[in-house]
Structure 1
């Protein structure tokens, strides 16, 4: 465990309390097992959970561990480093800075409450990390049960993550000590995201192996299973399992981005605070994307190895495994046998099953054979695929589309007439095989202005690679909709695209709310304008307007 710093430079004589003393009372990680209520459609869209993991984001309400004036124990408020106001109760400094207090309501908020939440939630998160390390990782009995390699996979670099969180929290606390009304915290967030938060990428990228190792240990080592169950019963864990603590770093890095978004919503436009908030948000966005990409890369590698083993080539073998290749969609379709113009064949058995593997740069066409194997008989680069929906579809040709390979495995053009099980399945295959190239280079702003919007009212976890995981209150643009209840949409805050059931969402009919959603989205993702660039050049790290 990293050595805690004590004290701050200056003329203060009292001893400095470290982050470990920030919270009193029961300990609890930031995992909220029950999803919070959806916000109104006019609010800024929530952030996604990881698309390939069990992470559950906590809503942007009261931070865990801070329940009002009684949350901070003792005669001093360790978080702020200043004594309480006389009289006790709700008249302490923390309450005066907290959301909804009388002191804060008497003047413009300017993002102070959102900054306060970022700091207090970091304190709660740090305390939960300390519990993970001291209660689980450093347990002497557990050390004897686990091989060092097993312990390394299970806990990864959590010590590095905790050390960064400790230093981060200390700097945030010092900033709060400088003035009762917080000046800014996003400059600190930006610097740490750029220079220190790579430890999160390392931790999160290990998630696939971590989950597998945890399941195997529970199944294969009775001593491990019994000890973990015993440790989880400790009141300090608040009834939460070890797995809830292990996903804390992934939760925190995504929630930090949400907290900075909340600050960005409250600060003045074109102000210095807006500039630092935008910088912090963009840097956090890079970290979150790198985390998600790390998770995907690990799972994709294993998936590609598994697919390669199942393939038998009837044609010239195509190397499947590549560092730059991943699976987009796979599944069974029916291929029409015979010429598509022959209407006499419609009364006969026209279709036979084929199985498609669509990668980001390659299409492989095969037939399933005994032994869970697939015999490959054609392939083509994804860039040389064209799709076409039939205009005149009778009952026999319902959900049929034409797939054209401009250059297949035999270096010639080939055409396939394929039938899907439903309209939505046909649309999904057509979208994946040949994305709409007319909108590929259209600006993000142009795509949004005339799109219908929906808001997630029920969480949804993607079941296939072309689907989109939804969190409560996510706001999306509807790009395509099928009659059997599926939507192809683009999420506003991260421009991620995918399919999802329309039953998980509600359409936003109010044009004012749609306009407000777009305004907030553009503000977060807008490019640096010349005025902001000039202000940024003049601004040096650490220089702030004091209030």
Structure 2
């Protein structure tokens, strides 16, 4: 009837912010046909109830099509519709980032042109790519009550229109740094930003949650496309089309990740190359495309006499651990480090010392000023000799992180055999890596937990196998056995399908 036309836009009437929705297609538990299981995954407190589903649409109800569809086909329509509605929600959030933040004259006035560019990058291009994608999906949705397919649209946009995402993600390291610098040292910026963030349009959310939208969307798309694959298993042609779409989108995500890493790593190596002073030690050509930093930091040196010294004057050393070499330095200033020694990672051994062990040849046992000791052996150092270094950390988690990082090579070969046995967590809010051994996570990411230490988790991100540390407080345990098993199956499938 004439009323149904008006209803056609109903999911647009009260647009939700993308930060507040969590697509049902991210759940793996509806591999089972039992909808009740959808409720077993964690729902973050702030999420509003899910948007309108396809089955609730007036035009669907009026058409009577629900009586004739198989469960599988109804679920496929739901999955297609959810890609459309969530893209609309995402586009809505992007438009707020643009109108409230990017276009704010007051905000622009608080920073340089370069800072402004680093902060917002090519977000307008990303938004226009989303607009085109949404329009193509919407056109298809308006044309048929039961949509034939959208895999062709997904594939086409991933291949030909989504390149702005790669540039945006590659800029992430500059974006984060600029935001941090402005927040810490620019009062005018802080004040203007606070005012904007209070506006009703922003829904009480900080600018950072808007800036990371493209990363959030691009990492969710493969999972939503994978849900489409799952719902077309009984239909060889459609399944093939959905799998091709999944490949194209996963390739894009991979390029986004690689872009982000490459920028960060290249810049880091060049900076460190200027800061490391080899002094009397035989020089090591640091710059190499295949070298990156795994971890850096200051540790206490336990020398013979240091046990008897006051804590205040404990000698320290500063380590730089790359994926192929460990460099031991003395920190001279924030900008300069004097190299004492180094060894290829293959020639480095590490051992955690137990409280009962005598630390030093002198036989003095561990004193209270030596909290968390461990030993690093350089089997073949810069002079081709063997060298032993006794170190200690301030916290159990710091020591655990050093040991994990130093055994990076061994871990790479081990490969975790039975992933189904590992505990899993779901990330409840985005976390940004602050150090090289940490991992940046998006909301709703699933992570397999490899280690727990002192409020920190070391885990493997389900969607692509990247590993790193992150605070336990950013995640919830997944307790449902069904969800855990579904996640492992999905991971195995995604990695084959997408060849990650």
* Structure 1 and Structure 2 fold alike (TM over 0.5): yes
**Counterparts of 1:3-82 in structure 2 under 5 Å?**
25=13, 29-32=17-20, 62-63=50-51
Q: Is the 8 A contact 1:313 1:376 kept in 2?
A: yes
User: What root-mean-square deviation, in Å, do the aligned CA atoms of Structure 1 and Structure 2 show?
Assistant: 4.8
How far residue 221 of structure 1 moved from its aligned partner, in angstroms, is 9.6
Gapped regions of structure 1 (runs ≥ 5): 1-15, 45-55, 70-89, 339-344, 530-547
Cα shift readout 1:62-110 (whole Å, capped 9, x = no counterpart): 35xx6999xxxxxxxxxxxxxxxxxxxx66226679xxx9669874324
Contact 2:54 2:78 in 1 (8 A): no
Q: Residues 464 and 195 of structure 1: is their aligned pair in 2 closer, same or farther, counting only changes over 3 Å?
A: same
For the residues of structure 2 that align with 1:406 and 1:190, how far apart are their CA atoms?
51
Cα gap change, 1:311 to 1:422, in 2 (>3 Å): same
Q: Are residue 455 (structure 1) and residue 425 (structure 2) matched?
A: yes
CA gap of 1:492–1:457, structure 2 versus 1, over 3 A, is closer
Q: Secondary structure at the match of 2:282?
A: coil
Partner of 2:412: 440
User: Aligned to 1:415, which of 366, 388, 392?
Assistant: 388
Indicate if the aligned counterparts of 1:29 and 1:248 stay in contact, CA closer than 8 A: no
110-119 or 267-276: which moved more? Answer: 267-276
Give SS of 2:408's match: coil
Residues matched between the structures, number:
462
Selected match of 1:334 from 286, 289, 300: 300
Query: Who is 2:450 aligned against?
Result: 479
3-state SS of paired residue (1:367): strand
What is the CA deviation profile of residues 199-247 of structure 1, one whole-angstrom value per residue up to 9, with x for unaligned ones?
Answer: 111123223434555677787696x888877877776555656655444
Cα separation, partners in 2 of 1:460 and 1:382, compared to 1, 3 Å: farther
Partner of 2:458: 488
Using the size of structure 1 for normalisation, the TM-score is 0.67
| Pairing 1:190–2:178 present | no
Question: Residue in 2 aligned with 1:176?
Answer: 141
8 Å contact 1:68–1:95 — kept in the other structure? no
Q: How far did 1:443 drift?
A: 6.2
Equivalents in 2 of 1:368, 1:202: separation in Å?
Answer: 35
| 1:82 corresponding residue in structure 2 | none
State which structure, 1 or 2, has the greater radius of gyration over its C-alpha atoms.
1
Deviations for 1:339-397, whole angstroms, at most 9, x for unmatched residues?
xxxxxx99866984222111223211012346774322101222332334457735529
Task: Answer yes or no: is the 8 Å Cα contact 1:41–1:508 preserved in 2.
Answer: no
Which is worse superposed, 268-277 or 227-236? 227-236
The 3 A distance-change label for structure 1 pair 501 and 352 is: same
Return the TM-score normalized by structure 2: 0.72
Higher helix fraction: Structure 1 or Structure 2? 2
- Pick closer, same or farther for the CA change 1:94–1:382 going to 2, 3 Å: farther
Q: What secondary structure sits across from 2:131 in the alignment?
A: helix
1 or 2 for the larger relative contact order (CA 8 Å, sep ≥6)? 1
The whole-number CA distance in structure 1 between the counterparts of 2:474 and 2:294 is: 23
Question: Deviation at 1:521?
Answer: 2.3
Cα shift at 1:113: 0.5
8 Å Cα contact 1:460-1:470 kept in structure 2: yes
- Other structure's SS at 2:326 match: strand
On the 8 A contact 1:96/1:104 being kept in 2, the answer is no
Aligned to 2:90: 125
* 357-366 or 460-469, which deviates more: 460-469
Tell whether the 8 Å contact from 2:320 to 2:327 is kept in structure 1 after alignment: yes
Q: Secondary structure at the match of 1:403?
A: strand
CA contact (8 A) 1:23 1:127 kept: no
Instruction: Name the counterpart of 2:326.
Output: 363
Find out whether 1:286 has 2:251 as its counterpart: yes
- Do 1:232 and 1:239's aligned partners in 2 also have CA atoms closer than 8 Å? yes
